[in-house]
Structure 1
Amino acid sequence: MSSTDICYLPATEMASRIRRGDLSPVEVVDAHIERIEAHEPDLNAFITLLAEEAREEAKEAERAVQTAEDLGPLHGVPIAVKDLLGKMEGLPHTQGAKPLENVIADETSIAVQRLQDAGAIVVGKTNTPEFGHKGQTDNLLIGETPTPFDLDRTSGGSSGGSAAAVATGMVPIATGSDAGGSCRIPAAACSVFGYCPSFTRVPHVHRPNMFVAPPFYQTGTLSRSVGDAAVMLDVMTGPHPQDPFGLPDDGVDYVAATQRSIEGLDVAYSPDLDGLFPVDPEIRSVIEDSLGAFETLGASVSEVEIGIELTFDELWDAFMDHWSVTMAGINEATKAQHGIDMYGDHRDDLPDSVVEKIEDGRQLGALELGAQQTRITTFYRTIHTLFEEYDLLVTPTLSIEPPSTEYVSGPPEIDGREVPGALGWFLTWPFNFTATPNASIPAGFTDDDLPVGLQIVGPRYHDERVFSASAGFERVTPWDHAYPPL
């Protein structure tokens, strides 16, 4: 088997071959590191590369196979960890921010530790915009990560490093985080499967303020197959006493869910969230052509009016006010934990977009934030009322092709309509208000051979339903042959 063939194996098959002795963990890790070294100059996917550490772990993994030890479901599989929620004790934890380039983590994140306990080998930490604050992966620390489908276009954000690494065979799976689409946006831009679980399905410890993030931050996955993401979720889920919001273990087998039928499910389709988002006609055409996959699987698909009562600007203001408060809280946390006052002492090392959010967050009053939470409550109620009638909701993930890396905030207009703000080209962030499980799955390609993502949203707690629908879609419309031959 060639090095390239190894690098494009699904993680599940890779782990199975390692357990059988058909593949050596050393051979597997070496193949992936060689691929990273070959393509990293173009993609800039990694902030920190752990080549030698990974090779040492691979030798230990090989010894464990030879001595017939009890092996985890990801034994010997190389993975990447997004350098945001993915802390690793003793290693740099930059969060994509230049002021934090010398910060060393003093603990390992719960999700990362669980993946390592399952046998995964971390080969590096991937690129992210500062604190995951936008839908494009670039920063003042190491720069831009493009999509491998066109190096002049963005990989999306904020998990763009992970998505680009997965799409190019640098790793089969990677962690991401999602606070407004940060797994789903780059999944669509890089033609991989991106998953954002139900709120706190995967626990996380925020310190020093464990209440800073709701309802935004989720730890998620990037993978080339739905089955690989299911294994990751099986490993990462379950409560942790240090997460006050963590969901209890409900015993769901996500791998088994990928084989479950969706026959009889009612799928609601909204092309533009009741007209709130302008959508390029070609994107809409690709999405609507793909919906037949659900009907092939025995589900029914109906275009719907969701009944959203808020304007785009009202939703936008609610989101941005919460983001600004979160960013101001992150600044205070870095002062408390690391003695680094980014806003006060390091403004020149931060993009204007981060400085402005910190400033806005510092000025926002509690009553103003409470008013925005009332708006969020209205949207939450609307979406969960829809799920009283429908089993799933599907939409485009992005309303355009992956935009040029020159667009810091997306293009100025779509289909002749002015783009309503920096969030106007991805339909993901409203569903971070709803605590729902959300996925982006490859739906096809434009005439320019650029990927299009389909967003699948399920009712809260029904992650297994999203996996069943996503895996069924993958069986009917496979995409594993469609990655660019870099």
Structure 2
Amino acid sequence: MTDLDLCYMTATEAVRRFKSKKLSPVELVRALIERAERVESKVNAFTYTFYDRAIDQAKKAEAKYMRTDGRTRPLEGVAIVIKDETTIKGERTTFGSLIFKDNVDSVTAPPAEMIFKAGAIMLARSCAPEFSCAPITHTKLWGTTRTPWNLYYTSGGSSGGSGASLAAGTTTLANGSDIGGSIRIPASACGVYGFKPPYGRNPDAGPFSLDWYNHAGPMGRSVSDVAMLQNVMSGPHPRDIVPVRPKLRIPDKFEGIKGWRIALSVDLDFYEVDSEVVANTKAAAAALRDLGAKVEEVKIGWTKDVKKATWAHLSGLFGAWVSRLIPEHGRKMMPYTREFARRAKKTTLVDFVEGMEIESVMYEKLGALFQTYDLLICPTLALPAIKADADLGDPGMKINGVKIDGYLDWCMTPPFNAMSRCPVMSVPSGFAKSGVPTGLQIVGRPYDDVAVFRAASAYERLRPMYDSDDRRPKL
């Protein structure tokens, strides 16, 4: 096994080898660090790194595995990167902003707390756009993060550093957060797996843990890795009222999906979608048919009003929070952050309530669909990716010759933040001619997480990623 194979090893396989004493956490951590030292300058996935401390922690994990009592934690010795939005006591979290470049946290947010208690080793903090309010990862403070598959294009956002690091082979696991697609967008652009759990499944920090569009979740290079991390991140927490009881555990193994009925929408009824994305989505649907599922194209009944609803929510809550920083710090902020604040000023409480009315109708349509079908599948992004440091306000941005809003019109993710109780996983669906991956969203009925994992696992067995050199980026 080469060092590169180690770097792309799944977390589940790494833990199996740790337990059988065929691999040391020290070997794996050192391989990942050496890989990062070679490729990180190209990808720019990290803010701060903790390499020396990580090696020390790996040595302690190695000692635990060498004992015979079997007392190891679920993520013992597994390397992870933590998003530069998730606070960690005593560490810097900058939120991708010059305003917080010297910020040192006084509390550890629930996602990181649960991950560390499970034994994971933090290699680095992963880059995110300023305040996580952009679908690209580009900031004045940290620069531009790129998909390892083609460095001209974005890694996506806001969990762009997490997706890029996974694809580049510089971490084993990564966490993310998703308020408009921020796990699924980079999962698609980087060719990895990202899960948006249903609202109420995973705890997070306040006040945005109370926002039903907000979801802390796992990212990985395999479905089993995402399941492993999700099982660590989910469940009740004393500092968050939101998570439901009892905790749901995703199983280790899944049966197939023969006989399942799956609805397919290539455009969710109102998106312009690039032809390469359409082709890859239909190819993924064909793979699901090969697994014995019946896949049928459908009309959901959604309209462009969906965009109105999601913008009313995102700008009304998140944009309003950002807008408070404008008077004192506006000049330090990214244009996309100021645009969020500008939209917040134009959003009224009436707009917000009307958005909720639209969301209610959205689920009436989707709920009716789920009476017939077990799952819905659709593209994750309407374009494979956009330029890494794109101007999101560029009026010339188009799909199929039609002008689009660069903020979210190429991202088919926000509707499922509105449908917040529906679990969604983005899985790789193929590649564009540019070499950039495309993604497929697998959408489940409310709180039916296991069905989403079951379908994703069956699909992955037929179309795996990262298991050989030809399915890894050439950096």
**TM-score scaled to structure 1, two decimals?**
0.92
Separation (CA, whole Å) in 1 of partners of 2:246 and 2:130: 32
Q: Per the alignment, in what secondary structure is the counterpart of residue 457 of structure 1?
A: strand
Count of residue correspondences: 468
Which residue, out of 355, 361, 364, partners 2:338?
355
Give 1:25-424 correspondences, 5 Å limit.
25-68=25-68, 70-84=71-85, 86-207=86-207, 211=210, 214-256=211-253, 259-274=254-269, 276-308=270-302, 310=303, 312=304, 314-331=305-322, 342-362=325-345, 364-409=347-392, 412-420=397-405, 422-424=407-409
- Relative distance call for 1:178 and 1:229 in structure 2 (3 A) is same
- Relative distance call for 1:68 and 1:112 in structure 2 (3 A) is farther
- Relative distance call for 1:331 and 1:398 in structure 2 (3 A) is closer
- Relative distance call for 1:254 and 1:134 in structure 2 (3 A) is farther
Deviations 1:364-401 (A, max 9, x none): 43333222221222223222222122110011111122
Whether the aligned pair in 2 keeps the contact of 1:327 and 1:354 (CA below 8 Å) is no
Whether the aligned pair in 2 keeps the contact of 1:145 and 1:154 (CA below 8 Å) is yes
Q: Per the alignment, in what secondary structure is the counterpart of residue 353 of structure 1?
A: helix
Shift in Å at residue 316 of structure 1?
2.2
Q: Does 1:7 align with 2:7?
A: yes
Deviations 1:199-254 (A, max 9, x none): 121111214x753xx22111122211101001111111111232222122254433
| Aligned match of 1:336 | none
| Aligned match of 1:338 | none
Separation (CA, whole Å) in 2 of partners of 1:135 and 1:246: 26
Q: Per the alignment, in what secondary structure is the counterpart of residue 17 of structure 2?
A: helix
- 2:474 corresponds to which letter in structure 1? P
Separation (CA, whole Å) in 1 of partners of 2:40 and 2:19: 29
- 2:353 corresponds to which letter in structure 1? G
Whether the aligned pair in 1 keeps the contact of 2:133 and 2:340 (CA below 8 Å) is no
Aligned residues with identical type, % of pairs:
34
Shift in Å at residue 305 of structure 1?
0.6
Across the aligned residues of Structure 1 and Structure 2, the Cα RMSD in angstroms comes to: 1.8
Give 5+ residue unaligned stretches, structure 1.
333-340
Separation (CA, whole Å) in 1 of partners of 2:136 and 2:212: 21
Q: Per the alignment, in what secondary structure is the counterpart of residue 152 of structure 2?
A: strand
Shift in Å at residue 126 of structure 1?
0.4
Deviations 1:93-147 (A, max 9, x none): 1111110111111121222222222221111110011111111111111111011
- Relative distance call for 1:432 and 1:210 in structure 2 (3 A) is closer
Separation (CA, whole Å) in 2 of partners of 1:381 and 1:466: 21
Q: Does 1:479 align with 2:465?
A: yes
Shift in Å at residue 330 of structure 1?
3.2
Shift in Å at residue 359 of structure 1?
4.0
Shift in Å at residue 416 of structure 1?
2.1
| Aligned match of 1:447 | 433
Q: Per the alignment, in what secondary structure is the counterpart of residue 443 of structure 1?
A: strand
Shift in Å at residue 476 of structure 1?
1.0
Q: Does 1:425 align with 2:410?
A: yes
- 1:229 corresponds to which letter in structure 2? V
Shift in Å at residue 273 of structure 1?
0.8
Whether the aligned pair in 2 keeps the contact of 1:135 and 1:182 (CA below 8 Å) is yes
Shift in Å at residue 40 of structure 1?
1.2
Whether the aligned pair in 2 keeps the contact of 1:168 and 1:484 (CA below 8 Å) is yes
